[in-house]
Amino acid sequence: MLIIDIIKKIRYNTTADRIGPDIPFTHWKLFYKKQMLSLCKKKFRFFSATADFRPGAYAIGCSQITIGERVVIRPATMLFGESVSLETSIVIEDDVMMGCGVHIYINNHRFDRLDIPLIDQGYYPDEAVILKKGCWIGANAILLPGVTIGENSVVGAGSVVTKSIPDGVVAAGIPAKVIKKIGQ
């Protein structure tokens, strides 16, 4: 019985559309650059040759996530990109910087009704999250479904981004608001 469970676990681990510490049979590869690149190129919709996915980070629905040049996905980050409707659910363009512990979500549970449990109500439609070229997302920021972070914009640490942020600004807080325009 135990043997069957172990075989099932290995099969799930090697085929799952996800990467993370909860998938130990592939997670170890993230400690070695060549292995990391070959795993990520296989799993993600697009994974640049100059990107890095560090041990301790999670991605769910890898086949719907694209990661551009020189992007580093750091420990405790959660890219929750599994979508029933979008081909590409999370886009991280070239030269995006992200601190540790950034969380990105592309959908919400439905909560329209009181007569059935929330867990049985399904989801609202998925909405893609896009990080435009050269933006910087501070540590532990949370990006909610449908937001775009503008080119070269900065999101402060610990912010909760509920609406899209334009190009070239600094936004921070809960909810994140523009606090300054860069270069002015």
Ligand X SMILES: CC(C)(COP(=O)(O)OP(=O)(O)OC[C@H]1O[C@@H](n2cnc3c(N)ncnc32)[C@H](O)[C@@H]1OP(=O)(O)O)[C@@H](O)C(=O)NCCC(=O)NCCS
Catalytic site positions: 109
Site for ligand X, residues 8 to 47, rule: CB under 6 A: none
Q: Work out how close the CB of 147 gets to ligand X at its nearest, in angstroms, rounded to a whole number.
A: 16
Which of residues 86 and 178 has its CB atom nearest to ligand X in the complex?
A: 178
Size, binding site for ligand X by CB under 6 A: 14
Binding of residue 159 to ligand X (CB under 6 A): yes
Site for ligand X, residues 90 to 109, rule: CB under 6 A: 97, 99
Q: Considering Cα of 11, then 28, then 60, then 70, what sign does the dihedral take?
A: negative
Alpha-carbon Rg of the chain, whole angstroms? 17
In angstroms, rounded to a whole number, what is the distance separating the alpha carbons of residues 101 and 93? 18
Binding of residue 180 to ligand X (CB under 6 A): yes
Binding of residue 181 to ligand X (CB under 6 A): no
Among 156, 161, 165, 168, binds ligand X (CB under 6 A): 156
In angstroms, rounded to a whole number, what is the distance separating the alpha carbons of residues 173 and 6? 45
Which of residues 23 and 67 has its CB atom nearest to ligand X in the complex?
A: 67
Binding of residue 78 to ligand X (CB under 6 A): no
Binding of residue 72 to ligand X (CB under 6 A): no
In angstroms, rounded to a whole number, what is the distance separating the alpha carbons of residues 99 and 102? 7
Site for ligand X, residues 113 to 142, rule: CB under 6 A: 138-139
In angstroms, rounded to a whole number, what is the distance separating the alpha carbons of residues 48 and 169? 26
Helix (H) or strand (E) holding 34: helix 33-43
Give Cα 38 to chain centroid, integer Å: 19
Q: Work out how close the CB of 66 gets to ligand X at its nearest, in angstroms, rounded to a whole number.
A: 20
Judge whether 157 and 140 are in contact, CB under 8 Å: yes
Closest CA to 148 of 134, 138, 161: 161
Judge whether 27 and 20 are in contact, CB under 8 Å: yes
Binding of residue 158 to ligand X (CB under 6 A): yes
Q: Work out how close the CB of 9 gets to ligand X at its nearest, in angstroms, rounded to a whole number.
A: 34
- Where on the chain is the footprint of ligand X (CB under 6 A)? 97, 99, 138-139, 154, 156-159, 170, 172-173, 179-180
